[in-house]
Amino acid sequence: MPTVLVTGCDKGLGVEFARQYAADGHRVIATCLDPGTAAATRAIAGDVRVMKLDVSDLAAIDALADALRGEAIDILVSNAGIGRPHPPFGRTDYALWQRMLAVNLIGPLRLAEAFVEHVAASRMKVMAFVSSRMGSIALNLTGGSYAYRSSKAGLNAVVKSLAVDLAPREILVLALHPGWAKTEPEARVDVDRSVAGMRAVIDRCSRHETGSFLAFNDVPLPW
Ligand X SMILES: NC(=O)c1ccc[n+]([C@@H]2O[C@H](COP(=O)([O-])OP(=O)(O)OC[C@H]3O[C@@H](n4cnc5c(N)ncnc54)[C@H](OP(=O)(O)O)[C@@H]3O)[C@@H](O)[C@H]2O)c1
Hey, which residues are catalytic here? 148
In the complex with ligand X, the residue whose CB is nearer, 7 or 210, is 7
Q: How far is the CB of 208 from ligand X (least distance, A)?
A: 25
Strand intervals (E) in 53-171 = 75-78, 126-130
Q: Among 22, 76, 103, 109, which residue interacts with ligand X (rule: CB under 6 A)?
A: 103
Written as one letter, the residue type at 191 is V
Look up residue 1 and give its DSSP letter.
-
Residues 35-54 that bind ligand X (CB under 6 A): 53-54
- Crossing angle of helices 94-101 and 146-166, in 10° steps, is 20
Interface map 164-203 toward ligand X (x if CB under 6 A) = -------------xx-xx-xx--x----------------
Q: Among 81, 154, 197, 211, which residue interacts with ligand X (rule: CB under 6 A)?
A: 81
Alpha-carbon span 16 to 9, nearest angstrom:
8
Q: Please tell me whether residue 210 binds ligand X under the rule CB under 6 A.
A: no
Q: Please tell me whether residue 77 binds ligand X under the rule CB under 6 A.
A: no
Q: Among 2, 11, 93, 124, which residue interacts with ligand X (rule: CB under 6 A)?
A: 11
Tell me if 198 sits within 8 A of 221, measured CB to CB. Answer: no
Q: Please tell me whether residue 127 binds ligand X under the rule CB under 6 A.
A: no
Written as one letter, the residue type at 213 is F
| Residue 213 φ then ψ, to 5° | -120, 105
Alpha-carbon span 180 to 132, nearest angstrom:
9
Q: Please tell me whether residue 7 binds ligand X under the rule CB under 6 A.
A: yes
Alpha-carbon span 95 to 153, nearest angstrom:
19
In the complex with ligand X, the residue whose CB is nearer, 10 or 74, is 10
Q: How far is the CB of 134 from ligand X (least distance, A)?
A: 7
In the complex with ligand X, the residue whose CB is nearer, 17 or 205, is 17
Alpha-carbon span 20 to 64, nearest angstrom:
23
Q: List contacts with ligand X (CB under 6 A).
A: 7-8, 10-14, 33-34, 53-56, 79-83, 103, 130, 132, 177-178, 180-181, 183-184, 187
